[in-house]
Each structure stands twice: as C-alpha cells, then as structure tokens.
Amino acid sequence: MVEHILGKDVVVSSILTGGTTKGSSSMINEISGFDFAKKHHIKNVLAILLDGNAVDLSATFPESAVAEAITREHPAALGIMRHTSAHIMAQALGELYPGTKFAIGPVIENGFYYDVLCDHQIVPDDFAIIETKMRSIMDENYEITRRTLSKPEALKMFSDLGETFKVELISDLEVAEVSIYAHSDKFIDLCRGPHLPKTGMASRHFKITKVSGSYWRGDAKRAVLQRIYATSWFSREDLEAHLHNLAEAEKRDHRKIGRDMGLFHQQEEAVGSVFWHPNGWTLFNILRDYIRKCVRQDGYLEVCTPQMIDRSLWEASGHWEKYREHMFIAESEERILAIKPMNCPGAVQIFKQGVKSYRDLPLRMAEFGCCHRNEPSGSLYGIMRVRSFTQDDAHIFCTPQQINSETKKFCQLLVKIYDALGFSSFSVKFSDRPAARTGSDEIWDLAEDLLRKATLESGLEFVTSKGEGAFYGPKLEFVLKDKLGRDWQCGTLQVDFQMPERLGAWYTGEDGEKHHPIMLHRAVLGSLERFIGILLENYAGKLPLWLSPVQIVVATITNQQDEYAQEFFAALKARNIRAELDSRSEKISYKIRYHSVAKVPLMAVLGRTEVEQRQITIRNIDGSQETMLFSEALDRLEKLCAAPD
C-alpha cells in the first residue's frame, strides 16, 4: 500500500486567481476536478485541494465547495507526483520480476520507496534496468483510475492475486470500504491516494538511489523484504542538486569519518552500542562538559538515577503500558526489572524525598542519563540510531504560573548552545494531543495554551504538528538544519501534568494545600551519540577547534627538532591544550597527510629554522600557515582552543 500523508498545515497558495469558488444557489451542482480546471482555464493541473484535502482530478464535489487547483508550483504537488512514481516503480518491478509480492511504499522526504518480496536479489546494477522500465510505463501513459471496494471484496481480490501483504493490511483496517488504484489493466494496488490522472504525467527526472533490507512491519520475526529507494523531482536541475547532496552526504557519513578520526567502532557482539576510542571519548566528554557548565550556570542541579528499576514504578508512570515492547527486561529474585528507557520516573523519586514548598520551585534537575531502548535491528544506523545512548536530560518541577518563564528560560539556553555548536538557524514544531493519551481534555487545553503562549513570548515562530505530542502532554521540537540543508530534530520541551500526579509528587502551595507540580521534560541535544554524529556530518569531520579531540599535532621535519618539539608539546599540555607529538622518522608530507585524514585542525611544523629562531609554524588543515614566536604561539593557541563561555 503506497501511503502519502500531506502536511497537516497545507499552505493554500494563490496559483489561480478566482480559483476558489463558493456557490450561492440552493441547488447543489456536482463537478469533477477536470471540470473545475477547464472552467477556470487552468493548465497542467495535477490534483485538486478540496476543503484543505488533496483529491484526484476525477473526484466530484459541489460547485460551492472551497477548491483549488494543484499545479507543479503548489506545495502538495511534489508529494502527489512521487506518490504516483512509487506505483510506477512497483509496476516496473512486477513486470521485470514475475512473482514479486508488494508490501508498502510510502512517500518520504525527498523521494519514496517500495518494499517487495522478490526472488530476484536486486542490486545496484539493476537500477538502470528498472528505471528504463519505469520510463516505458510513463511513455505508455496509462490512465490511473480509482474505485472503492467493500472490505470483503478487497480481501477476495488481493487474496486471488496472491498479495498476502495487502490481505493482512486490509484485514487490520477498521473500515467498511477501501480504495484501490489501477494503471489500466496492467497494475493494481491498495491505496488511499491521491494520484496523477495518467502515468505519463509523472516526472522523468528521477533516480533509484539504493536498495536495502527491511522486515515486514518492522518485526525481525517476519518476512525479510527488499526496500528500493528512489528520488523524483520536477526539474533536472533539482534532481542533479539532490544527487550532488547525496554524494556529499556519503562523503560526510559519520561512520566513515569516525573510522578516519579513530573515534569509535561498533560490532555485532554489542548491537546498537558504541565502543568509544580515546579520541571519541574525549569528544563525548568535551560536549558533555560544555552542556554541564551551561546548565549549572542556568540553575540546574545534577542528579543520577538507577539504571534498573522494578516494573512497578514503570506501571505507575504509565510507561509499562505504552512502552513495554521497547524496554530491556532483567529478572532477579523473582522480581522483574526494566533497564530504563528514559530518566523521568527516577527524577520524580528524587523530588519526592522530603517535603517541598512552592518556595522551592522551580526545581531544575539535570541528568546525563544512559538509557536503553530495544529498537529493531533494521532501524539501527551508526551512532545516529542506537539502543544504548546518553541524554542531556533535565526535568523542571514548577507551578503552572512558572511554565511561561521556565519555557522562555529554556529557549534562551537552547539558542545559546546551538549557536556555540554552529547551528544558529533552527525551526520549532508544536505538537499537540495525540489520539492515545492520558489526562482530561481540560488538562490538555491548559497545557497546550500555556506552552503555546510561552513559545510565542519567547519570540519563536512554530508550525503545528497535529496529534504528535507525547501521551502525557504537548511538546516543542527543535529542528536543526545542517550544511547540506538536512533537518535534524534534536531538542525537546514537554509539558507534563500527568506523571507527578501518577507518581504521588506534591508540594505545599502558598495556600497551605497540597498541589501536584508541573513537570517540564527538556533536552537540548537529545542523544549525545546522535548529536556527535550530526556534528561530524555537518562539519565533514572538521570540527570547531574547541570541540576537536586533538586540537594540534606537534610534528618534526627531522629528528634534530625532537628536543624543541618536546618543549613546545609540554608547554601546550600545561595550558590544557589537547596536543599530540609526532616525532616519527617519516617525511613531513606523510605526517601532514596522515593528520589531515584524521581531521586534526592544526599542526605545529618544526624544522631547523624554527629551532634556531625559537619560532613555531602553525599550519591549518586547509593548508594556510603562519609563523610566530614560541610564546606568542602559546598565547594565541590558548585563546583559540578555549571552549565558549
């Protein structure tokens, strides 16, 4: 089933003047999208935006409905075109490799994929063959039609076709009818649409990018499928720009950079975990120590909670019901313990020790908590997606009246840290109540209103993500944009009215009565492991000097400079500059190449002239260099290498 969910907040553009119609007649006249486009003389229409929802051109609707033509310039157009391209790719796979079974194939950021069960092992050499078949299907210009079937009819049809994955999907749907799309009589698929009217309207500017394995429904016990990824654009220029970015992203792959820099490795005996090497662990601690300094300055107290906690606490917090499948479990003395997947219930236990007054609030608890989550092995990716990770977590216990000021304070802290790390531009998403949640609508109304108001007063614009809040409260998500234009969701702020009450936390209010505190869950980086991966890819390994695990290498041209190099190296260490000494009997050109691959930002190159004149030649990784006196070099480097305030 190919799925495409248009953005919740679809922007209505002004593509057509007078294109929105509202009838005044009491009679209801039905028109199709084709009729609508013809009536308003609009060419190259792909679909219709009807009362905020995209529908096929063949769909009919009252003339009085609020409608808009979707052409290529419309924000929804690219997704619809990719949606149809996914179907075209599925048809191509079926024709090339008879017996192929179709699973799902959603539109994703910058493209789409399709999961199939196929006897033929698809490899990169097959991509051109599949692309040629896709273009042939476009050239045939098959009409794409939609019809609805009752659930029993759909089950029989896909069962007769032997499409077991579709049968399972339909069986799980709690609906009376389902929609199917067909390319004439050549291809049929379960889908909710919308689609282009004909296969020939799909863009020829596409490229299959990779193939990987995937488990049916993400379950390692189910069928192993082949997932074919592709990208598609309306112009050759956009396609080439995207392919360039993909090539650049491959060069910046944090796994390769991690190997080149000697930072970490991973292996099958510890799936989803990281073996940090000395330089990698140095980087980890530099980042953690900087965050630690920032939160201390901002009034946080650092705590540490247990790794394993009895299931009774997770049941009380609601996590056992909502999150049990992602927890690692241990048993001891007939008790079931969970290795913590998050830190918040432990923070509440610390808050509960001793009587708290409103005068003690806000109480800000920071924790660099190591968490474990049983992520499917197929979803793991380098240090970006792991099972064992450390959060720069914190929990703020406050009164309802303090939500506003604490949100503002956190946003200021977050802006400061992101700026220091080189991410001065970010966007904000406001996620409101999900369908599966705890707490009354009145509590959710209050939490959402308070968080929304505080965010606006912080001077931050945001877009709303409907229904994507946590089960216990609304949240803000802070999304960074890297140097390749990719988005990374990192920081979060969540308002929680539920957990303190569920776990029996209270404080004495100004009125002398007991009140449950509000709990703000917040993180700036999210996972330190993932954020380090983002940093490595953003900077292509060339980290800012203050973050570099090795800031400078002292390298000799010949062994005659060894004594002088030792003196300068010792002076650097005395000033807490992270330095290494390379006095190997190798040519200086070899040493420069070696440390450039390891992304060491600076080298002190010492030869006979430097020794005779007590000078230091500092070479940047970009190849530029400057010579200065011994003492001047030390002073300059100490200033350059210092972490930001």
d(CA 35, CA 430): 38
Residue 14 pLDDT more than 50? Answer: no
Q: What percentage of residues in the chain have a pLDDT greater than 70?
A: 96
pLDDT for residue 28? 67
CA dist 227 to 158, 204, 241, 391, Å? 21, 21, 24, 31
Residue 61 pLDDT more than 70? Answer: yes
Please write the tens of the pLDDT for every residue from 34-48: 999 998 899 999 999
Please write the tens of the pLDDT for every residue from 221-248: 899 999 999 999 999 999 999 999 999 9
pLDDT for residue 322? 83
Please write the tens of the pLDDT for every residue from 564-584: 999 999 999 999 999 999 999
Please write the tens of the pLDDT for every residue from 126-145: 999 999 999 999 999 999 99
Residue 80 pLDDT more than 90? Answer: yes
Q: Which CATH architecture has domain 78-251?
A: 2-Layer Sandwich (3.30)
d(CA 349, CA 485): 41
d(CA 401, CA 541): 44
Domain boundaries, the chain: 78-251, 265-307+340-538, 552-641
Helix H or strand E encompassing 210: strand 205-215
* DSSP of 586-608: S-HHHHHHHHHHTT--EEEEE-H
Hey, what are 436's tokens? 């599966």
CA dist 437 to 147, 184, 494, 520, Å? 35, 44, 14, 17
Cβ-contact 209, 229 below 8 angstroms: yes
Cβ-contact 410, 398 below 8 angstroms: no
* DSSP of 213-231: EEEGGG-TTS-EEEEEEEE
In the sheet with 475-481, reading across from the earlier edge strand, the strands are 301-302, 363-372, 388-398, 518-527, 487-496, 475-481, 426-431, 463-465
Cα angle vertex 238, ends 236, 240, to 5°?
65
Cβ-contact 531, 385 below 8 angstroms: no
According to DSSP, the residues that pair with 455 across neighbouring strands are none
Mean pLDDT of 380-401: 95
Confidence of residue 26 (pLDDT cuts 50, 70, 90): very low
Going by C-beta distance under 8 Å and a sequence separation of 6 or more, which residues neighbour residue 570?
none
Cβ-contact 308, 338 below 8 angstroms: yes
Residue 345 pLDDT more than 70? Answer: yes
Query: Rounded to a whole number, what is the distance in angstroms from the first to the last CA of the chain?
Result: 52
Please write the tens of the pLDDT for every residue from 186-216: 999 999 999 999 999 999 999 999 999 988 9
Please write the tens of the pLDDT for every residue from 414-425: 999 999 999 988
Residue 2 pLDDT more than 60? Answer: no
Mean pLDDT of 392-405: 94
Hey, what are 259's tokens? 């190997």
In the sheet with 187-190, reading across from the earlier edge strand, the strands are 144-150, 177-183, 187-190
d(CA 35, CA 63): 10
Q: 């808009």: which residue's tokens?
A: 68
Residue 20 pLDDT more than 80? Answer: no
Q: Which CATH architecture has domain 552-641?
A: 3-Layer(aba) Sandwich (3.40)
Burial degree of 486 (CB within 10 A; 0-12, 13-18, 19+): middle
d(CA 473, CA 407): 14
265-307+340-538 folds as BirA Bifunctional Protein; domain 2 (3.30.930)
Please write the tens of the pLDDT for every residue from 161-185: 999 999 999 999 999 999 999 999 9
pLDDT for residue 178? 95
pLDDT for residue 466? 86
Residue 19 pLDDT more than 70? Answer: no
pLDDT for residue 12? 30
Amino acid at 193: G
Residue 10 pLDDT more than 80? Answer: no
Cβ-contact 409, 298 below 8 angstroms: yes
Between 137 and 484, the more confident residue is 137
pLDDT for residue 565? 97
pTM: 0.81
In the sheet with 328-332, reading across from the earlier edge strand, the strands are 308-310, 335-339, 328-332
Hey, what are 408's tokens? 């503002």
Please write the tens of the pLDDT for every residue from 520-534: 999 999 999 999 999
Q: Measured on CA atoms in the order 79, 82, 84, 90, is the torsion positive or negative? A: negative
Mean pLDDT of 52-61: 91
Instruction: List the catalytic residues.
Output: 344, 373, 391, 393, 395, 475, 521
- My answer on whether omega of the bond before 362 falls inside 30° of 0, hence cis, is yes
pLDDT for residue 63? 84
pLDDT for residue 218? 82
The overall average pLDDT reported for the chain is 92
Mean pLDDT of 367-393: 93
